[in-house]
Structure 1
């Protein structure tokens, strides 16, 4: 990964600092109901203030598509940000054209209105990028979760001001580098979820990067079909069977071991507490639905984790939201967490369902790094450049 500047390289005293963060948090009746993203960026904002800067916070909320939508204002987030920051936060009432007239002194913290209220934001419009740049002396990006978007506040302004990675961005980039770019081998990837079609680029990139690839979730059913197994009424993309075969061939050429289920937990209906049985993949009933990998498959996955020094995880192994189809995901997550705690494994996970699954298993805090970035994390796994990260790179 190319070098990038961090807050350690910045002289912030007396400077006006634009800091792009992700405050796209759930709000109900004007109250933030999950402050995880605020908690992640608070250390960066606090450090900027403690170093004597005037802080101007940039963020988006929802998708107003370049129009002012009062229900998508960041105003309700200001109070939560103030609480977690432990510092007075002023919410900017002014519209974007009046923003350059804002009076922000060292020690002040101002939260600007939703950047996506401006029609130029998502277009990465040069005029809006220049307007943003006029607000500050230094730009700090602490929003990895928005780094896959080439918007004015995530990419455009970074080319107009001295630019640095915030602490959350720095931690994310270092974790990703440790996971796939300079990992301790062997490296294992666990990829689950419902559809192969949403993860074609991901699988194609991973088979070239990792030593072993575990495929679980409903997407595994498409690969089982490619191997000639019947999957009953299970969710599968039958039109992608040839694609699945191609991925298996690519993995073989790259000397990447693919670990597919050898048994599955099968029910006749998908509901909590439904009667279910373990079947080998060569004996799935015609009226059965595979809802989790079976115990023999779970044993193989645990053994593969034991052989690895680095783990990258995206997607659950089964329908973990509904018991008893969470068993394999919970077992694998707890085993990976135990090895991480023992110092035997570097474990990096990301994606909405993955974070939820690790929380369900009670081990999210035991992994080396858990990314809440969603789309940006997935695009990084796919090997795609992230505009918001690339803009921070130090020219050689």
Structure 2
């Protein structure tokens, strides 16, 4: 994969740069969180300083939503005007860039407004590419998608490379997955084994210890013969869970499942809870978080690690009192002397809620892309930069 260091002549070049500006909005229309915009600032500033003429292209989840508010916010962050262009194929784009001159930045409209985007339509991709000298992809979070603006366009622009964010993501995650400092501890949680099965199998072959929490732990517990009461689990994943445990054993990866749990009769804020041993879960209750003993054991395990990868919550952390397990893990990761990495939307949200984000060594911008990368898949957008 080529990087910006491999592109020597940027001055006065027209650059099409794929970013991920899929930011959340309040009902008022104001941007709720601009962290995805901020993540691309280093690459944008690099190109401005080099005298390139930059056209940024991104998607928003809602095809009817405009990126114009993002252009306004980006102008504030860059302390310079970013011109918004109301579509992706306008003949005015290059005229605007030429009028603005070297070091200018324009933002094109939401790619999801075009059906051809998600279909990776080659004609649409060629139209996006036409007139640009260089293509840069800085959007790791969308690297697992084979869309026109993340994959197809790269086939029609000879000079292409990864942006600084994409480069950092790939290099950091490659180091963690291929040559982590030992002991390598993984905390993986979330709702379903099925959504992270490939990741579980991959990490079972690489980690020294794997802590499994969230509702997915219920499936593992059920598979090993534990009575989990009314807890949610995946019946069709029981054999797969056993295979993961067997694979971990074959690769000397110690799997630590919850030894106790916070349980309740229903999932509501402020309901009465109990903290039984995992083998004593009442038949009328459901597991909604890891228990106090598990919190202590996992915190100690994380403390003794050299590398920590955290993906997924331990329980229903958005609702008290089922937040304590995720909070304990978050604080343990933040205090660890290890190299710490977290990723995934829920995990990032938890880190922000428990005020530990600033204490994590590396926070990945990827969700689905991060899972695909950890699983060992070849990400289409990265492949396109290497072709």
Counting matched residue pairs gives 382
Q: SS at 1:277's partner residue?
A: coil
From 202, 210, 213, the equivalent of 2:207 is 210
From 135, 141, 144, the equivalent of 2:137 is 141
From 148, 157, 168, the equivalent of 2:153 is 157
Q: After superposition, give the CA deviation of every residue in 1:45-100 in whole Å (9 maximum; x if it has no partner).
A: 12211211111111111253xxxx3xx22222211121112111111135626366
TM-align CA RMSD: 1.8
1:316·1:353 contact (CA, 8 Å) conserved in 2?
yes
1:351·1:373 contact (CA, 8 Å) conserved in 2?
yes
Say whether 1:220 aligns with 2:217.
yes
Q: SS at 1:103's partner residue?
A: helix
Q: SS at 2:207's partner residue?
A: coil
Q: CA deviation at 1:235?
A: 1.4
Say whether 1:18 aligns with 2:16.
yes
- Find the counterpart in structure 2 of residue 349 from structure 1: 342
From 312, 322, 326, the equivalent of 1:325 is 322
Distance in 2 between the 1:81 and 1:101 partners?
20
Q: SS at 1:76's partner residue?
A: helix
Q: After superposition, give the CA deviation of every residue in 1:306-342 in whole Å (9 maximum; x if it has no partner).
A: 3321111111111111122111211121111112xxx
Distance in 2 between the 1:265 and 1:112 partners?
49
Report the CA distance shift for 1:294/1:27 in structure 2 as closer, same or farther (over 3 A): closer
Say whether 1:170 aligns with 2:163.
no
Distance in 2 between the 1:215 and 1:145 partners?
24
1:100·1:131 contact (CA, 8 Å) conserved in 2?
no
Distance in 2 between the 1:250 and 1:264 partners?
25
Distance in 2 between the 1:275 and 1:58 partners?
50
Q: In the TM superposition, what are the counterparts of 1:271-350 in structure 2 within 5 Å?
A: 271-339=268-336, 344-350=337-343
- Find the counterpart in structure 2 of residue 256 from structure 1: 253
Distance in 2 between the 1:295 and 1:86 partners?
48
From 86, 103, 113, the equivalent of 2:96 is 103
Distance in 2 between the 1:141 and 1:7 partners?
14
Q: SS at 2:227's partner residue?
A: coil
Q: SS at 1:12's partner residue?
A: coil
Runs of at least 5 residues in structure 2 that lack an aligned partner in the other structure: none
2:88·2:111 contact (CA, 8 Å) conserved in 1?
no
2:85·2:93 contact (CA, 8 Å) conserved in 1?
no
Q: SS at 2:335's partner residue?
A: helix
- Find the counterpart in structure 2 of residue 378 from structure 1: 371
2:141·2:367 contact (CA, 8 Å) conserved in 1?
yes
